[in-house]
Chain A
Amino acid sequence: LPLVAAGSMAGLDRNAPHDYKATATVIAKNPPSGLEKTLNFADIVTSNTVALRVKKQLGLNDSVEQLVAKIQVSQGRSNLYGITVTDSDPARATKIANSVAKESGLLYTQLGSGSGSTVLTELDKQRAGYQQRYKDAAQELSAFDAAHPGLLKDADTKGVDPTLATQRKQLVINEQAAAAAYLKFEDQTAQARITSLASQRDFEAFVVDEAVARPDPTRPLLRIAYAGGLGFLLGLAIVFLVQLRRPPVRAADQVEEMLGIPVIATVPRATRRTLKTPRAS
């Protein structure tokens, strides 16, 4: 029975539909210094984020776990990564492989460069603050000059009210300080963006070869072997259960109990020993 079960399972599996593999190739740069080793492209490819994006993009019914299970990443000596997707539908395998390659590249670049991080958001907020401070200072100075039109004209004359002159000087200093602070901030921001761009280049990822689905030549054989083994175990389990449920007759008294008639002869198993004539003692 175990052998029959093994054969049947293997036969059934042989006739089952083939799997297809589609492999897309991506080149993913690593920083030369090795400072950012925590960001690994292979991990990104098999991340839930990428799987979720692909699922949404292609409208797949598979769960994220199922999708991740279909994806395999391999890396050669260089920065080339092979992203292989196994699926029973060749078209779907191709679509998923290409989508995973694209989304992995985007996420890798995004995370590597730091764009979209809270640091940049904070910088934008600060820029608005500096701008506002300069605007306020400039408006205050303009309003003061508008309120005292003769003050600029008579600045060097002795008839100017010293309090107003001091007040105006303070406003000019405030405006200049706000302008200087804003310019300094812009310099620093520009420098930060240059650094970010340089970093982005270190984490660039491009799809270099799009996926094409091919029948998986090894998988059916492996599956047949697995199915055969499973069938064998299943057969053994059935035999075991049958033995457990209906124990075989092993002794004459069991026969008597089972049939309700006496056993009038027990014939031993015909072996060389039982068929041999015993020596006379």
Chain B
Amino acid sequence: MRLTKNGPLILGPNRLESRVAEAFRALRVNVCTGNGERAPTTVVVASAQAGEGRTTTVVNLGSIAGQAGSDVILVDADLRKPSLHQVLHAAGANVVPKNTTLRGLADVIREEATIEEVTVPTGLPGVSLVPAGTGLDKPAGLITSPRMGIVLRALREQADLVLIDSPPCLEHVDAIELAGQCDAVLYVVRAGSHDQAAQRLVQAQLTHTNARMLGAVFNSG
């Protein structure tokens, strides 16, 4: 997660004309127009390793899309290290305090709650959040369970754009599994990444799931 002086980089209304916002606007256009193909609704934002800018991309792309009039749901599917609600809270978005445990995706997969019950507003226009949820001491198997497909279909019904933050591909298989079930994959690479072989490996794994690779986001910061 990249931090600025004002906390995690989130493009609120005061930064909409900046160069960074412009880059995310371009990204939104490419994502929402399907980059020449059918426009996706559920998009997994993936990266090979932690710290490449995955969560920041989810939040900023969601913020820009929300301000453009889309109904956006951000889903925290990183059940091992959930951070979306923390990032939003630290940036001053109107979500519950960062240490508060919210019901979320895990609860929906276990059929202990519905999507509507766990979706919370973020304070960013048009953007809602589905946190990681509770009971995350044994997260293995939740994302890869057949119930996840049902949850994704339900999410698709409720928003124009569903952005899913996933764990790093080199650490867990969750993102690869999600890629096969979602409409498209957005792959984030940070400048300075040395492990080109690992990046290629992840790319090959994603391709094997028949995931639709929307393209890469190059984080030059």
Contact = CB atoms under 8 A, between A and B. Distances in A.
B37 interface: no
Contacts of B53: 267
A267 B17 contact: no
B203 A265 contact: no
Contact of A248 (B9, B23, B192, B213): B192
A261 B216 contact: yes
B18 A255 contact: no
A274 B18 contact: yes
Contacts of A276: 18
B208 interface: no
A259 B195 CA distance: 12
A267 B221 contact: yes
Contact of A275 (B20, B31, B213, B218): B20
**Interface majority SS (helix, strand, loop, mixed), chain B:** mixed
A275 B26 contact: no
B210 to A, nearest CB: 14
B14 to A, nearest CB: 8
Contacts of A260: 203
B209 interface: no
A263 B26 CA distance: 11
Contacts of A278: 17-19
A256 interface: yes
Contacts of B57: 267
Contacts of A264: 26-27, 30-31, 35, 186, 214-217
B193 interface: yes
B219 interface: yes
Given A255-B189, A264-B27, A270 B9 contact: yes
A170 B14 CA distance: 137
Nearest to A266: B218
Nearest to B5: A272
Given A248-B191, A249-B196, A261 B20 contact: no
B19 A248 contact: no
B218 A270 contact: no
A264 B35 CA distance: 8
B18 A249 contact: no
Contact of A265 (B9, B18, B194, B217): B217
Given A262-B215, A264-B30, A266-B218, A249 B20 contact: no
A248 B190 CA distance: 10
A267 B18 CA distance: 11
A270 B20 contact: yes
Contacts of B195: 246
A222 interface: no
B4 A256 contact: no
Contacts of B147: none
Contacts of A248: 191-194
Contacts of A273: 19
Interface of A: 242-243, 246-252, 255-256, 258-278
21 contacts: A242-B194, A251-B218, A259-B199, A259-B200, A259-B216, A261-B203, A261-B215, A263-B217, A263-B218, A264-B215, A264-B216, A265-B218, A266-B23, A267-B24, A267-B27, A267-B218, A268-B23, A270-B20, A272-B5, A275-B20, A278-B19
Given A248-B191, A261-B203, 17 more contacts: A242-B194, A246-B195, A248-B193, A249-B191, A252-B220, A256-B216, A258-B199, A261-B187, A264-B35, A264-B216, A265-B24, A267-B218, A268-B19, A270-B2, A275-B15, A277-B17, A278-B18
The 3 closest A-B pairs by CB, nearest first: A269-B221, A264-B215, A265-B27
